[in-house]
Structures are given as structure tokens and as C-alpha cells.
């Protein structure tokens, strides 16, 4: 018998658009970190559904085979210096590049807000690790500070 823990849980499903028949459905539930919101999805050329979810403590990327509903993997994005009071917000910024122009490998690109900082990450799908990440955390009324130029760098006269 399976009883869900009370709370909000993401649910993904597949319906055949021609017949209207149900193909499959999945609750995304884990006793410690349930995926509560699905924010952003993309279907790849190889029949894989990629979606970004949000747990209480971190962003998560899930890949599902759209024909069978089988979950291929779940990636949780952890921060090394993560505090106990993290706030994550997502707005659907997810892209799955099936063949990177430089490496030929598949990568995920994602963006979200972590504790009032905009984060942008690139994840190597084959190694399941972050290739690079950037954060934007400071806004100033001084327009010069908002552009990304090194300070104290002047052209020769």
C-alpha cells in the first residue's frame, strides 16, 4: 500500500492526442524532498521529456522517456556553501542542448534565483556535473557598475 505524505507533489502524465487515451502518469514523491513544482519542460529529438522541478531545498532536473514514462535520471543542484535557509525560485528557464557545438555532448542549461541571486548553470548530461555557473547578485544605480568591464582599465591616450 502506498500513501503519499501530505503536501504538494508534481505530477507528469502523457495522453495520446489522437485517441485521448491515457499513456502513463508519475507522481514525483520522496519522503525527504518531494518535487513540488514543475517549472519548464522540453521534449528532445530522442523522445525524452526534460523538466525542471523545485523541491523545498533545491532545483531539480528530471528526464523521462515519453513512450514508457520511465524516469531516466533526477539531478539535484546542490551548492557547496549552502545555508540551512535557502530560497529557490524558478520561472521555467530550462534548455536541453542535445549536441553542444564545441564538444558534441548533451548539456542542460538552467537559470533560477537562489537567495536573491540569479544563477545560470550548464550541466554536462553524460557526467552529471556542472561545467560552469554564473551568478548575478548586485545591482547599482551607477550604470558603470552594472556593465561587466574590469575596473581601472583605461585606453591609452
- Looking at the chain, the number of H-run helices and the number of E-run strands are 1, 11
Convert the pLDDT of each residue in 77-115 to its tens digit: 877 766 667 777 777 788 888 888 888 999 988 888 887
Q: Nearest to residue 139, comparing CAs of 110, 114, 117, 154? A: 117
Q: Are 71 and 57 in contact (CB under 8 A)?
A: no
Report the distance separating Cα 54 and Cα 41, nearest Å.
13
Walk me through the domains of the chain, giving residue ranges and CATH numbers: 10-146 (2.40.128.630)
Q: Are 72 and 12 in contact (CB under 8 A)?
A: no
Q: Who's near 117: CB < 8 A, 6+ residues apart? A: 135, 136, 137
- Name the grid cell of 69: 514514462
Report the distance separating Cα 94 and Cα 99, nearest Å.
15
Q: What is the pLDDT of residue 74?
A: 83
Convert the pLDDT of each residue in 8-25 to its tens digit: 666 777 787 888 887 777
Amino acid at each position: 500500500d502506498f500513501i503519499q505524505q501530505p503536501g504538494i507533489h508534481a505530477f507528469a502524465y502523457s495522453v495520446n492526442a489522437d485517441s485521448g487515451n491515457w499513456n502513463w502518469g508519475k507522481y514525483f514523491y520522496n519522503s525527504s524532498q518531494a518535487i513540488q513544482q514543475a517549472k519548464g519542460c522540453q521534449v528532445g529529438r530522442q523522445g525524452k521529456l526534460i523538466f525542471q522541478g523545485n523541491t523545498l531545498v533545491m532545483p531539480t532536473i528530471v528526464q523521462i522517456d515519453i513512450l514508457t514514462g520511465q524516469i531516466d535520471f533526477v539531478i539535484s543542484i546542490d551548492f557547496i556553501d549552502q545555508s540551512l535557509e535557502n530560497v529557490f525560485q524558478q520561472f521555467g528557464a530550462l534548455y536541453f542542448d542535445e549536441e553542444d557545438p564545441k564538444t558534441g555532448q548533451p548539456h542542460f542549461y538552467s537559470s533560477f534565483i537562489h537567495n536573491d541571486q540569479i544563477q545560470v548553470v550548464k550541466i554536462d548530461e553524460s557526467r552529471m556535473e556542472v561545467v560552469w555557473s554564473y551568478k548575478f547578485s548586485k545591482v547599482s544605480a551607477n550604470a558603470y557598475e552594472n556593465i561587466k568591464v574590469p575596473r581601472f582599465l583605461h585606453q591609452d591616450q
